[in-house]
């Protein structure tokens, strides 16, 4: 099995996330990045908010760079959190809102998926459904 995220994998992730969102009646954008942070797949539903395209990509980037679900990082960047200055200290497109998940294969980080457009807990659930399709 490949230790890289292929375009076929990216399409599987994108389709699974959109299917989960469709089932919930939520319009979203989905971004899939490879291990280098390069966009492999992107789709925005016709009625999704325009900003959801940006948020989905930033969520994926954050999950990739920190190798963590963005939902698990929200408290760390609050004013009393251990990484409270991280959002302003780095000139990076980080976004600490649930909906971004790293993608692993054989214990290796191979990319990330980000979903934007729903409530944070919905976006997280849609991204989780997507990642589950590759395992």
pLDDT, one tens digit per residue, over 63-83 is 999 999 999 998 888 888 777
* Of the candidate ranges 3-12, 56-65, 86-95, the one whose mean pLDDT is the lowest: 86-95
Question: pLDDT digits over 71-115, tens only?
Answer: 999 888 888 877 777 766 677 788 999 999 999 999 999 999 999
State the fold for domain 7-132: Beta-Lactamase (3.30.450)
Enumerate the domain spans of the chain. Answer: 7-132
DSSP secondary structure letter of residue 40: E
Q: Share the mean pLDDT of the chain.
A: 93
Which residue(s) pair with 44 in the sheet?
29
Question: pLDDT digits over 21-38, tens only?
Answer: 999 999 999 999 999 999
Question: pLDDT digits over 41-51, tens only?
Answer: 999 999 999 99
Closest CA to 131 of 9, 7, 2: 9
Identify the pLDDT of residue 1. Answer: 59
Please report which helix (H) or strand (E) contains residue 31, including its range: strand 29-34
């Amino acid at each position: 099995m490949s230790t890289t995220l292929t375009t076929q994998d990216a399409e599987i992730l994108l389709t699974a996330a959109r299917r989960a969102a469709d089932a919930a009646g939520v319009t979203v954008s989905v971004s899939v990045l490879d291990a280098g942070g390069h966009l492999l797949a992107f789709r925005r539903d016709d009625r999704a908010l325009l900003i959801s395209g940006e948020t989905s990509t930033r969520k994926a980037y954050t999950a990739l760079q920190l190798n963590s679900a963005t939902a698990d990082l929200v408290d760390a960047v609050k004013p009393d959190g251990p990484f409270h200055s991280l959002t302003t200290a780095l000139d990076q497109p980080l976004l600490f809102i649930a909906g971004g998940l790293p993608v692993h294969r054989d214990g290796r980080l191979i990319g990330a998926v980000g979903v934007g457009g729903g409530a944070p807990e919905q976006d997280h659930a849609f991204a989780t459904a997507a990642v589950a399709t590759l395992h």
